[in-house]
Amino acid sequence: MEAAPDMLYFFAQLEPLMHKDPSLWCVSARNELGLGPYASDLSGLTRTDVFAGSLAWMLPAELFRTEILPRWPEKDWAQHLRSPAVSRGRQCIVPEVSRVRHLGRDTRQDSAGAPESRARQDAGLLVASRQPTFLGKVLPQIEDEAFRSAMRAGVLGATVVKDLSEMPVMMEGSTTVWPWQNLPGYRVDFACMSEGLPPECWRMVAGYFKLPEAVPPRGFYQGALRLRWGATAVLFIVAEKTSLIPAQDLQGRVLLPAKDFHLSPPPLLAVRENVVAAAVQDAGRSCKSMCESMGKVCYPADLLFVNDCTMLRQFFNCGRCEASSGTALPALRAPRERKEERRGAGSICLTNSDVLQHPPSCHAADSDKQRLCVCREELSAAPLKPAVRERAEATAEAAGWKPGLRRMALHAKGLQSFGTVVSAPKANSMHVPVVLVAVGHSVAALNATSRALRAARGFDPSQLQIFLACCGAQVEPSRQLLQEDFPEAALTVQAQTKPVLRGRSKTLHDSARETQHLREVLTAALSTRNSSSLLVVHEGAQLSSDAIGFFSQLGPLMDQDPSIWCIGAWNDAGLAPYVADLSVLLRTDWHPAKLAWMMRAQVLRQEILPSWPDAEWERFLRRNEVRLDRQCIVPEVSRCYPYGPPQSMDDPSLRRSDRTAFDDFMRPVLWNKEGEEVQLGELDRMKDRAYEKLFLETWPNDEGLAHSRAVASFRDLLDLETGTHHIILDEQSSGWAKAAHFLRLPERMEKDQTIPGSYQNVLRLRWGGAVLYVVFKGSKLLSAAGIRSNVSGFQDIPRQRPVLLAGVASVVVSRLGASCAATCSELETGARCHDPDLMFLNACSALRHFMGHEACGECIAGDGQEYPSVVLFDTQLSGSAPHFNAKVRNKLFFEEHSPPVGTCIWNANLAFPPRCDAAHRRLARLCACRVAATNLPAQAADLSKPSARPIVRNLVPVGQVDASLPPERCGAAFGNRLAADCLVNKFWCCSAGMWCGASKQHCVSPDHECRVGNSQTHFCGAGWTLRLGTFGLTSLADR
């Protein structure tokens, strides 16, 4: 047994509380969940419903004498004490950082499991090793009522993780000794298929977080488990049955099935900035030596959680990865002989498979090994002094910055023109067949769609048919996922019955395959179900939780009005600045052939399928000879959202503009992500003649086209804030291209002059607090509205684009280190932040407009989801500089190139767009906060703690290295990142096929001449889509 120096002092401080509080029955010095990633506060204490003894523990003598000894078992005494019949609802106190642990195991089995697995758990325990810790300040917080209240508040106030793909990363901080009650929380709710908490269920959840798999699970308190999550947050793992969540809040909980934890890739259980991979010149150095050179500390418990091949490949260029044994592992071993190197053996990554005999050590070193280490702040580190923060804020204010409101929303309340937001929605089932079209390209995208369907209110799995394409890249794991998620649904794996197009581009090839698959899907679905309508949901569609209700309300209307030939959940013109009202519906000549749509079965069977094309099925449905002057209904605010960009991003034949289309026109679309249920009101207004009258004259608040005023030029649009207006374009595609560029809409126009989202050649948009109609000269609605067809001029389109912002949004500058989500929640209006709104503030023009030119003495491009922001905290004031992987750190000189206070930064990498919950301790964010709909709860404030990663002045290829990428990959399809072996080989150019290299083929692209060539400081190649002037690209907000 290994004991900390303050073990006895720990017990001495807690003994009086154990006698005082009848809800306590034991104190243990060992926390079985105090593993390296989850322990950092020496003064941290927690309660647990499960007996936590086995090494050093304490019970009241009277209780031991009267209750325990008379019922002492013949064997498995520890498991006996874990029984609820023994604990009787009482708890034990355990420390966050253990004061004791096993020091080796023999070969016999004990009551807790096999010695090998227990040895691994022992090696992962963090044990205090320095001076005693005074617990006086935290003792009142561990008392019965105080702890229960804190846990309940923490669970209810935590941000719910609705999908494991959204699991936040562990963040770095200057210290972690503050009480956990002051930290933001995240919450993961899980469910088991059977009653109680069976071993196989907990095993899957515990395996995801690398927690002990023993049952009953250790560390739970009234159904909830609290863990540190990095240095700046806490994580609550909450079972389906818990007394910490009131009964009225149980409805609508997002419960993640245990199998999701088993199927999902585990998170990185370390702060990425703390993981240090030894460079070639550091071979033979111990982790202790490397950490000390960085002013940090190595703890052996942390090394166990980077001891696998997945972690090694993220930080080293592994030729192969093998299991070995030794205290100097995990590590990279270089080829030992030149012969071995010539044979192509390459460098070998080694993991430690014998933790029982060779536990990981910070002191160990081997001359031919480059160690993978975890270097963190010492456990006793003090928090940042208030005086330092005050100096930083004073410096920032001297530069012209002040937090607070910059622009008030033009609408005081959320808009509800036709219907009402339902505060307590009912889950009415929808009796329309749902067809899930799975192509098998991405199991992650399919899982997102599956989860959204299961979470949608009113979804009936018995109405679901699933069709999986035969030839997708991930068809087998997709099939397994679908069978597990929808066991009651019919699953058909389609055979390829017709060869796809040959000799064409990869994009057209994929389109042909998808078109063929969809034809087979529709044919089979119509032959097996006798229904008037068919709802089609595509792989990668994330439905809002009210999407089923949306289709359910509109389905009968499509049967009543033959001029309505489809209903879509996606609005192609629904960019964030142009939408605000969840109750508004629009008729459009444009078929929303994306993500989720519904059509009449008769139309599909008799009109569509007989003339189905070989490829490009979306364009086929948008042709007027197919549409026959009928329209579709779409919402103003979309009810679905794409999971990610198309799979064909690495098609070498694509132009750069094709690759940026997803980031320009789909990411900025606002959707009902919060899932508010909306009663859409009287739907007769959407019938043919009634809608035309509404569109022209009777739209509430005189917002019809007939009441609009003419806008003579685009320059006049800059000053519009209220009222109803129209602007008239000629019918030439060049005219629309100029207008679309100004409006940030797609410049593409179909041959019949149809533009996305338009109705009879008129597009209705919100323009701040006003309404703007964009009208083609030939539209018949002009004469019906009594408007003269005077075409607006394009010669005076201003070079400086307006800052587009919805009328229901305010602009706020955050406090230092605060996220936009937290900033918006602090407004009196209970406003909410939405990611798409931030994309339209993501430009120097917007930063200077709202921050002030004095606060933006310099404006630079960066790569971070916490931008747009202004630097307010100098590195010299931050106490200690953050550290990155040594391979990259030495090349970038992060601190020397860090921008000074007063520098504004916008995000030039829209593959990772701005996020509301991102924050950085050196930055104040520029935020857009939308007025929440009536009677809806405000957005939770505790969403994130600021990052401390380095900020660099120049965006350069060497700074885009990401060790998690596949070998030699780069560019737009990989988040505009660069694989680690590209760094090793000094390949900085990225080809159209997304491969790194140094040749002319890699460095040159059709729309950009690379004069510099292969350079670690200049981006070259058709694969990059960073918004840089060298590529002729700008931010969406400045486009």
Per the CB < 8 A criterion, the answer to whether 631 and 565 are in contact is yes
What's 864's DSSP letter?
-
H/E stretch holding 906 reads strand 903-907
Q: Indicate the pairing of strand 869-871 with strand 923-930.
A: antiparallel
Is residue 992 within 8 A of residue 1003, CB to CB? The reply is no
Q: Which of the residues in the chain have pLDDT under 50?
A: 106-113, 174-177, 341-344, 381-389, 392, 876-896, 935-943
The helix/strand count (H/E) of the chain reads as: 32, 44
Q: 715 is written with which tokens?
A: 């320059």
Provide φ and ψ at 600, rounded to 5°: -70, 140
Query: Can you give the pLDDT at residue 855?
Result: 63
State the Cα–Cα distance between residues 484 and 448, nearest whole angstrom.
14
Torsion, CA 523, CA 526, CA 529, CA 533, rounded to 10: 140
**DSSP 8-state class, residue 845:** H
Pairwise CA distance, residues 671 & 571, whole Å: 9
**CB neighbourhood size of 410 (10 A):** 17
Looking at the domain that runs over 2-263, which CATH code has it been given?
3.90.550
* Alpha carbon distances (Å) from 601 to 67, 370, 386, 432, 588: 71, 64, 67, 11, 20
Question: Which residues, including other chains, have CB under 8 Å from residue 461's CB and lie 6 or more apart?
Answer: 454, 486, 488, 489
Give, rounded to a whole angstrom, the gap between the first and last alpha carbons of the chain: 65
Give the pLDDT confidence score for residue 889 in this predicted structure: 36
CB 39 within 8 A of CB 126: yes
The set of residues, in sequence order, having a beta carbon less than 8 Å from that of 506 and lying 6+ positions away, is 648, 650, 651, 652, 653
Question: 76: which 2 tokens?
Answer: 């498995």
Structure tokens belonging to residue 649: 């991003």
Q: Helical H runs in 694-732?
A: none
Q: Give 309-360 as a 3 state SS string.
A: HHHHHHHCCCCEEEEECCCCCCEEECCCCHHHHHCCCCCEEEEECCCCCCCC
Contact 201, 175 (CB under 8 A): no
In angstroms, rounded to a whole number, what is the distance separating the alpha carbons of residues 275 and 315?
8
**Tokens found for residue 879:** 């106490």
903 phi/psi in degrees, rounded to 5: -85, 130
The β-bridge relationship of strands 185-191 and 434-438 is unpaired
Q: What angle do CA 388, 393, 395 make, to 5 degrees?
A: 95
Dist CA 476 CA 481 (whole Å): 9
Q: Where are the domains of the chain?
A: 2-263, 272-376, 404-409+808-930, 701-806, 957-1038
Positive or negative, the Cα torsion across 686, 688, 690, 691?
positive
Write out the E strands in 428-520: 434-438, 464-468, 490-493
Q: How many CB atoms lie within 10 A of CB 649?
A: 21
Structure tokens at 908: 């030039």
What is the b/e burial string over 296-328, where b = at least 16 CB atoms within 10 angstroms of the residue's CB? Answer: bbbbbbbbbbbbbbebbbbbbbbbebeebebbb
Which residues are paired to 436 by β-bridges?
466, 537
Give the pTM.
0.65
- How would you write 253-318 as a 3-class SS string? CCCEEHHHHHHCCCCCCCCHHHEEECCHHHCCCCHHHHHHHCCCEECHHHHHHHCCHHHHHHHCCC
For tokens 């561990």, name the residue.
142
